[in-house]
Structure 1
């Protein structure tokens, strides 16, 4: 369509000028308001209206880039006959890019919510861990961290974000840098809200709760930095615009801090209970030792009693011999 518009409009203008050359009225400045100019501007306006209607149906960033390139070439060619409309193209394609990226991010969030609602909390095989989820923006290869395979809902979301970034890269208007960064933060915030809402509405047992908290930790430490790094590949220093919005995930961080506090308090209670038990045991042992000492002392006193009785009995047995009458001579 763009090529036909460029070729035919250019030919019509040249042929009209060649046939009706005397329509200038001797003044080139007044010629711009003539019949040819009015008709040509109407054709350009129709062309731009068609673009506005058709571009939302484009689902690939590469196709948007090709159409933009053809339109710019068409406008530059028509500029030879005074019909350069390149300045009217950016707003149209900016809206198309924004709509496409927003739609892809919304799809990623919706898929995450569907997988999260139907997810079974069972341990997945460990596939490694990337420290803090750090991804170098200057690297040519931005591979999703393999640890995300342990958390299928996050893996689905990150795949959707990667697809949105891949569609953005061929046609990324610089004027949309801040707006698109807000769309990324909006998607991450929607995932954060979904996690908080899931925790509030579901009753998770011990093992399930541990797996859920592991997913929350992977979201903050791996998925979030990776999404920021991917956006940084589309726009210079784009990751900074997303990293500055870390405060939007405080609710998820609170989910991670509450269990840690409860665990520490339970440990303190166990430790204090052990100390009390050890102290009570020591007191009991001390009391038992003291009672044993008393028993020994009592036994010693009772042992001395018979000894005294024996001595007294011995005295009684010898006293008759001493007190008896003297033997007769």
Structure 2
């Protein structure tokens, strides 16, 4: 039970007077009874909820381990036997190490079951507080905690989910123009505190889904971001971006798109390079100092996409557009077709020029005929 030190002293006094147990046996019995009581408390906790179970376990060890060690030292401190150091030092140390080892083993098993970064951060804070309190009796285990939390594969799971959702939306996406909701902006006018995903990405649903997944993963990482995993987690993010780039290249080679669909697809690829990738780097930079540089230095991730966009731009060379053609494009959204390398407007201008030349020739002939008739009339008058 939750016995206090005065009651412990009274019971141990009775046992010593009746002489049933040896000094070593009495110490061992005390620690065994205390351990049985602690185990009973832990068994009453609900193990179906890993977060609540770990909270209860940490609070139990924080409050009661400290009391047990202090009670043990107070009860058996007045023993003057020559073998006191062997009894006390080895036995208490072994029992305390067993409790701490059990505590860490439970953390190792339960931490991977926690799926929220905020909950993981809260457990870490409580563990650090517990270890700091036990440090007053020589049981500070804070140095053993980082590897346990580093092994929690929370960001890896979230990035895998983001890539899978992107692939699903890309495979089922219909390439139709969507209303303009924003413009890509990476200018210095944006405040450094604002890391809201660009609304421009809403024109490209597959990228919007991926960015939502990355933002969620970074939000889970930010409260509990181990410094030792900075480069490892940067590679996890780069691996996710690489998977998206590879998916776009595979989509381009395995799907047949019409001209307007191809234009929308290339617009999505351009948005990935110019908007989505820098935004992911900015988000990672909020979790780690200079983290954005690690992501931006890996620009070879989208080399294939960049070459695809550049090649499509090279094929679409600009050409001169006259006024009538421009008005036709503005009204119909189509460029007039060309016959034998000439546009209809060019042919029309040639016809107009030919007609004007014919009109000029007819006028010249009429003028010549009128002058000839006038000369004949003058000759007749002279003869008369």
Q: TM-score band (shorter)?
A: 0.7 to 0.9
Q: Could you tell me which of 286, 298, 320 is aligned with 1:245?
A: 298
Match of 2:65 in 1: 9
Match of 1:123 in 2: 177
- Determine the C-alpha separation between the residues in 1 that align with 2:187 and 2:170: 21
Q: Could you tell me which of 218, 228, 240 is aligned with 1:175?
A: 228
Check whether the contact 1:133–1:225 (CA below 8 A) recurs between aligned residues. Answer: no
- Determine the C-alpha separation between the residues in 1 that align with 2:148 and 2:259: 53
Structure 1 220/77 Cα, relative in aligned 2: closer, same or farther at 3 Å? same
Unmatched runs of 5 consecutive residues or more in structure 2:
1-56, 321-337, 354-384
Summarize the alignment of residues 76-87 of structure 1 with structure 2, pairs less than 5 Å apart.
76-87=132-143
Structure 1 196/134 Cα, relative in aligned 2: closer, same or farther at 3 Å? farther
Q: Could you tell me which of 51, 56, 74 is aligned with 2:112?
A: 56
3-state SS of 1:211 partner: helix
Structure with higher RCO (Cα < 8 A, 6+ apart): 1
Match of 2:253 in 1: 200
Decide which structure has the larger Cα Rg and report it: 1
Match of 1:290 in 2: none
Match of 1:111 in 2: 165
Structure 1 266/113 Cα, relative in aligned 2: closer, same or farther at 3 Å? farther
3-state SS of 2:151 partner: helix
- Output the aligned Cα RMSD: 2.9
- Determine the C-alpha separation between the residues in 2 that align with 1:32 and 1:152: 67
Residue-by-residue CA offset, 1:223-269 (whole Å, 9 max, x unaligned): 000000011111111100000000121111121122122223999xx
Residue-by-residue CA offset, 1:41-87 (whole Å, 9 max, x unaligned): 01100100000110011111111111111111111111111111111
* Counterpart check, 1:158 vs 2:211: yes
The size of the alignment, in residue pairs, is 274
Normalised by the size of structure 1, how large is the TM-score? 0.77
Q: 4+ residue stretches of structure 1 with deviation over 4 A?
A: 22-33, 132-136, 272-275
| Between 201-210 and 255-264, the greater mean CA deviation after superposition | 255-264
- Determine the C-alpha separation between the residues in 2 that align with 1:37 and 1:24: 19
Structure 1 32/85 Cα, relative in aligned 2: closer, same or farther at 3 Å? farther
Task: Quote how far apart the aligned CAs of 1:177 are.
Answer: 1.0
Q: Could you tell me which of 278, 303, 307 is aligned with 1:225?
A: 278
* Counterpart check, 1:65 vs 2:121: yes
Higher helix share: 1
3-state SS of 1:264 partner: coil
Structure 1 205/135 Cα, relative in aligned 2: closer, same or farther at 3 Å? farther
Match of 2:97 in 1: 41
Normalised by the size of structure 2, how large is the TM-score? 0.66
Check whether the contact 1:24–1:31 (CA below 8 A) recurs between aligned residues. Answer: no
